Amino acid sequence: MQALLAFFFIVIILFVVVIFIIAALGASFLLRAVRILFFPFRKKGKGKGVVVGTDGQPITDVMVKDPVCGMYVPRGDAIPKTIDGHTLYFCSQECLSEYKRRA
C-alpha cells in the first residue's frame, strides 16, 4: 500500500513539474511538441503564409477598419481619404460624409 501511495505521489510531482516547465517555456512549445508527437510526417511549410479564399485564390488584400462604424472592409474596396497626413479608409460614402460632418 505504501509503495502504491509513493508511486502516485511521484506521478503527481512529475505532473506538476511538467506543468511548470510548459508554463515557463510558453504555449508555443506545447503546440510544437503536440505537432511533433501526433503529426510527425507533416510537410513543413505547407499552408504557411498564404490565406486562400473560398474560390481557391490567395487573398492578398488587407482589411481596414472604418473609423465611423467600425466595420472592416478590404482595402481595395474601401474609400481612401487622406486627412491631416493620415490615410483613413471608409466602407461607404455615408460613413465618409458622417466623418466630415463630425470633424
What pLDDT digit, counting tens, does each position of 32-44 carry? 777 777 776 655 5
DSSP letter at 92? S
SS3 9: helix
| CA 40 to centroid of chain Cα atoms | 24
Rounded Cα gap, residues 99 and 103, in angstroms: 6
Q: What is the rounded distance in angstroms from the CA atom of residue 14 to the CA atom of residue 21? A: 10
pLDDT bracket for residue 90 (50, 70, 90): very high
Q: Give the model's confidence band at 98: pLDDT under 50 very low, under 70 low, under 90 confident, else very high.
A: very high
pLDDT in tens, 62-78: 899 999 999 999 888 99
The pLDDT value given to residue 82 = 92
Closest CA to 5 of 13, 15, 16: 13
pLDDT at 46 over 60: no
